[in-house]
Amino acid sequence: MAKRPLTLIARRAPYGGDGARQTLDIAFAAAVFERDVRYLFIGDGVYQLLRGQDTAGIAAKPHVAALETLELYGIETVYVLKSALNERGIEPSELALAATLVDEAQLQTLIEGGGPIINL
């Protein structure tokens, strides 16, 4: 039986807490164990995807640089809630990763698609 995909919901901004990194580490581990990952970015989670993050002043590694390695792990697209971008004044062109923009109904379909969900 094929393994069910793992759905990860990233809803936190990249810095100020470790939720963003924790979710990403689970994505890497899942990929290493050859499980399909659906990576959804909603709410403040969309800030994780902004290109040009400069963390020189905050003793942190740029989160987006780690996200950009997802492709090497076979996670080639991420799903981004369109309204979360609009609410924050972010254009899709400002995102560093190949992103599939989804509306609320499509997000619901992805979440309901079966398989476990981890939402940190």
Q: Is 42 in the site for other proteins (CB under 8 A)?
A: no
Residues near other proteins (CB under 8 A), total: 19
Torsion of CA 106, 94, 8, 26, to 10 degrees: 160
Strand partners, 9: 40, 119
Distance from C-alpha of 105 to C-alpha of 120, rounded to nearest angstrom: 22
**What is the pattern of x (binds other proteins, CB under 8 A) and - over residues 47-86?**
----------------------------------------
Q: Which CB atom, from 72 or from 98, has the smaller least distance to other proteins? A: 72
Distance from C-alpha of 63 to C-alpha of 13, rounded to nearest angstrom: 10
Q: Is 45 in the site for other proteins (CB under 8 A)?
A: no
Q: Is 117 in the site for other proteins (CB under 8 A)?
A: yes
